[in-house]
Chains A and B, each alone.
Chain A
Amino acid sequence: MTRRVGIAATVLAALTAGAVAESGHARAQTSTSSPSPTASAKATPTPIPANQVCAKLPIKMPPTLDNLPVSREESCTDLKSATRPAAVDAMALYSLRRKDSLLLATLQISRFAANVDASSLAVQHSIITQLSPTVPAVLRVGDTTVYHTQSSTVTLLSWFKGRYLFVLAARDLVGRPRTLLRDALEIRP
């Protein structure tokens, strides 16, 4: 089910979408301008126009996460206005709402373009540090490294899986944030 993005979802998504696209872009630019055997990014193919990022992700989402229904949101609104090539070639945004439709959390899944080496710690850290003004804490949850940052009312939990970046933005109203995270970690691209 796809629904129009609400204001709250836009705010949560905007926290992450711009940072991901920008940081990856910056990284790719760096690697093309100063090629080095230690550079994290691979050779840069033709950039993908930002307005083509909205391709469907080949991810099977569960119907619920910690008993909260998962809905697909329209996520391309912001990216269509971008003028620079994006570091991600596909993105999807999902919302988790309470029964009364109050938004509790969003999960944004981004797939990096082939020229971005998302397995590089340097690339990961450059992206993660742009997601929040605070220094992220690193949590090990199962086998996954989860970066945890917090603003006044939103907790951001981010992790990488292959070419994919997952960003779970949870409001303080989420009753069981760790269980929600644990469920989200089960999503396989």
Chain B
Amino acid sequence: MRLRIAVHALDRTGPPVLAMSFVRWMSRLHPEVDLEVVSLRGGPLIDDVVRLADAMVVLDPDEPWDISDPDRPRHDEARRRLDELPTPDATLLVSVAAGQLLPVMERTGTLVTWVVEQGHDLHWIDEPTGLRERTDTWLAGSASSHAEVSGRLDGPVRLVPEFVDDREPVDARIRRRCRAALDVADDELLVIGAGIATRRKAPDLFMQTCIAARRRRERALFLWIGGQRDELHWPVRDDAKRVGLSRFRTMESVTDLHHWLGAADVFLHTARLDAFPLVCLHSAIAGTPVVAFRGAGGTTEMFAESFVGADYPDLGGLADLVHSMATPSVRDRVSREQSERVRSTYVTDVCAPALLESLIGPQAAAP
């Protein structure tokens, strides 16, 4: 049995991280399956991939690529390399953006596309990649993605939830070191947001919630992790500087977010739209309560009864909820409820079997 996992990049964004969780689970529970990971672009996760599976990267991380008019020598070279690989029994495209690989990937076996996007990002379905025509099975990673993609496709779409790996709680010493590194006092809240710095992920709203918190005289450090090379990184930093926000900081994307999330008192997710933000699952696993906008993607579905948030665009409401987490009993209760919800519903051991079954059928997927 040979499975191919295809992603659009090997950066630390949602789809590649999700793919890696599945690869790790397969390596652990199904070592008999030959796994290969094919990525359109490279990125820092390549190091994790090669420890667990065969790997092939088509383009360098920032190499220009026009799907409608690709660089012909690079296209032909990628096609030749993929043709030389054994034909897999099935190929899983993790995100519709991975469909960009299809023009150079002729043999896929059963092609399964797992839609983990929402909104504008779904445009890849209708780009000239062959994705719509060649996909045998459509999956959706969340109810919100499912609802949106079902309206755009003729055939059935099966809901297979996205997931993250369960982790041990963050060691208290490491937690202390993280907070000390950021100069966070014991009686100060550490509020973390993370993601690429685009309008959709909204680091601007994260920073403006910091303004609202300051207005409420909240003692808190707001830290945004990631997105240094994205369009809103410097504009948001400029805003913070102009406003005089001494307790707003940014940090480069880190190898392992787990202990930083564990060091935080609140994970504040201010995205305008996010289909099913894995970083919120990671945060719940790390024991840090998540506060987010209601109706801005999958967080309400993710946490169900344990969801804590405000209507978009109520930044004052978010700031009030952040403040509520300064009360240990409130923080502990929310953290416990959200962790329980995620551990019972969205961790790899719970969800990955359904994904494998979608790829190779129930008989073959049986343990």
To the question of whether A and B form a pair in one complex, the answer is no
- B interface vs A, CB < 8 Å? none
